[in-house]
Each structure stands twice: as structure tokens, then as C-alpha cells.
């Protein structure tokens, strides 16, 4: 069993440009909080972990209109069913004061986001890895919303060929951007991608790494998002006519 606790306090007038510590905000200032976490193994193949974080700010910031309080709770159960099959079940609840416009002024109102995720990973063979995930988000602000996402991943790495392939097919349905769902994607070298799934539609991507020689490596990523609930994507100078948005990346590395 493991237990940890951490108290933090950063004055609203404290500024440290290179500070890097545990905090809810990106700026290490205007925050006080208490974090408590626990981890234990109730059975041979089960690991339970949980934490709670209570924090507050004494001054307004970009997302609040004044002093605000927040509370997070996170629980996760990991299951190692066999050498080839594992899964986890995760629940997170976050409640915090957020800035909302009321008539001609901004005020703080409570906002709640609840996330429930079930993830399975299966090593089908020495060359094929399968990942399946289902996730639900409940958002409660001025209105209530729900979001759903389901994806299937496959990773293929043959033994005698210098190729690494990762692909995904995802379906998502959220009522707005407030109930968006994030999911990590494989990407080219030194890049990462965690897109927000919102609206209704499908997302697919294919990421390939190929090493034709010892000192030559190349990556290719092709991704497409298809929204079924709109005829245009984004707005302003970023507006795209149609329902599809496609991304293409290529990278070549030569070692000397």
C-alpha cells in the first residue's frame, strides 16, 4: 500500500518564470491546495488507486471572475487478467467555479465534469496489439450535456520487417465542445497528438514508422475527421467547407 499527501500555497503575487511543480494552473501562482493519494493491491491481479485534490484561488484568473474553489476526485482499478490481456476502469469527477456571463457582467458559477472510461488491451499475437476504449462524459454548467466515444486501435509490428504501424477507428457523439473527450494518438517523432472529440462523427488515423536502413528512419501520419452533424468546420479564417478535415505529416531522419 502506498500513501502520499502534498500541500501547496502560491501567493497571487508570486511569479517564477521557470517554476515547475504540481499545480492546477499553468502559472505557478494564485493557488492553494491539498492533494491526497492512495494505492493498494486488494488481489493478485487488481491494483486500486485514488486521489483527491482540493484547491482554491484568492484572485481571479482567465477562467474565473473572482476567488474560486475546486475539487477533484479520481479512482482507477487496473486488472491484469493474463499475460496478454489487461484492462482498467476509471472514474473522475471535477467540480470548480468557472466564469459565466450573466447579463452585462461575469460571475462565478459551479461547473462539474464527470468522466467514466473502460479500456481493454489485448496482445493478440507477437506482432499485433489491440486496444479498445469506451468513454462517457457528463457536463453540468448552465446546462447539462453528455458525450460518448468508442474507439478500436490496432498496432502491428512484424518481426522480420522494420515497420511499425498504428491505426484507429473512433466514433464520437457529444452535445457540444463542453462535453468533449480527449484521446491520445500515435504521431511522428518528437510530436504528440491529443485531439478533442466533439460533435458527431468518426475519426481515423494511420501512423507508420519505417526504417529502410540503419541510419534512415521515416514516419508518415494520415488522419481524417468526418463530422456528420455539420456542413462547415471551424469559423473565420480557419473555416473549412465540407464535413471532412484531413491531416498529413511526413518526417525523415538521417543519422550521421
Q: Is the pLDDT of residue 26 over 80?
A: no
Q: Is the pLDDT of residue 164 over 80?
A: yes
- pLDDT for the residue 119: 98
In tens, the pLDDT along 47-93 reads 999 999 999 998 888 788 888 899 999 999 999 999 999 999 999 99
- pLDDT for the residue 248: 97
DSSP code string of 130-146 = EEEEEEEEEEESSSEEE
Q: Is the pLDDT of residue 177 over 90?
A: yes
- pLDDT for the residue 12: 87
In tens, the pLDDT along 196-249 reads 999 999 999 999 999 999 999 999 999 999 999 999 998 888 899 999 999 999
When comparing pLDDT for 15 and 227, which is higher? 227
When comparing pLDDT for 121 and 12, which is higher? 121
Asked if 228 and 198 touch (Cβ cutoff 8 Å), the reply is no
**Close Cβ partners of 237 (under 8 Å, ≥ 6 residues apart):** none
Q: In the numeric block, which cell numbers belong to residue 91?
A: 472514474
pLDDT average, residue stretch 141-159: 95
- pLDDT for the residue 234: 87
Amino acid at each position: 500500500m502506498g500513501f502520499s499527501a502534498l500541500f501547496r500555497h502560491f501567493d497571487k503575487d508570486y511569479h517564477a518564470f521557470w517554476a515547475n511543480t504540481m499545480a492546477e494552473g499553468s502559472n505557478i501562482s494564485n493557488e492553494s491546495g491539498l492533494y491526497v493519494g492512495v494505492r493498494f493491491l486488494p488481489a493478485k491481479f487488481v491494483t486500486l488507486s485514488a486521489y483527491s485534490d482540493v484547491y482554491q484561488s484568492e484572485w481571479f484568473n482567465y477562467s474565473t471572475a473572482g476567488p474560486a474553489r475546486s475539487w477533484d476526485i479520481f479512482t482507477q482499478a487496473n486488472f491484469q487478467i493474463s499475460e496478454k490481456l489487461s484492462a482498467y476502469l476509471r472514474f473522475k469527477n471535477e467540480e470548480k467555479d468557472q466564469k459565466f456571463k450573466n447579463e452585462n457582467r461575469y460571475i462565478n458559477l459551479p461547473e462539474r465534469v464527470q468522466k467514466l472510461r473502460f479500456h481493454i488491451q489485448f496482445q493478440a499475437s507477437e506482432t499485433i496489439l489491440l486496444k479498445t476504449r469506451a468513454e462517457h462524459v457528463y457536463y453540468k454548467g448552465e446546462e447539462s450535456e453528455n458525450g460518448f466515444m468508442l474507439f478500436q486501435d490496432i498496432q502491428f509490428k512484424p518481426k522480420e520487417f522494420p515497420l511499425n504501424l498504428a491505426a484507429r477507428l473512433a466514433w464520437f457523439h457529444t452535445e457540444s465542445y463542453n462535453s468533449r473527450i480527449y484521446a491520445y494518438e500515435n504521431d511522428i517523432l518528437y510530436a504528440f497528438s491529443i485531439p478533442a472529440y466533439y460533435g458527431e462523427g468518426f475519426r481515423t488515423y494511420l501512423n507508420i514508422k519505417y526504417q529502410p536502413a540503419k541510419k534512415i528512419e521515416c514516419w508518415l501520419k494520415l488522419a481524417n475527421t468526418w463530422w456528420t452533424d455539420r456542413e462547415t468546420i471551424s469559423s473565420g479564417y480557419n473555416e473549412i467547407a465540407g464535413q471532412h478535415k484531413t491531416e498529413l505529416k511526413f518526417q525523415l531522419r538521417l543519422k550521421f
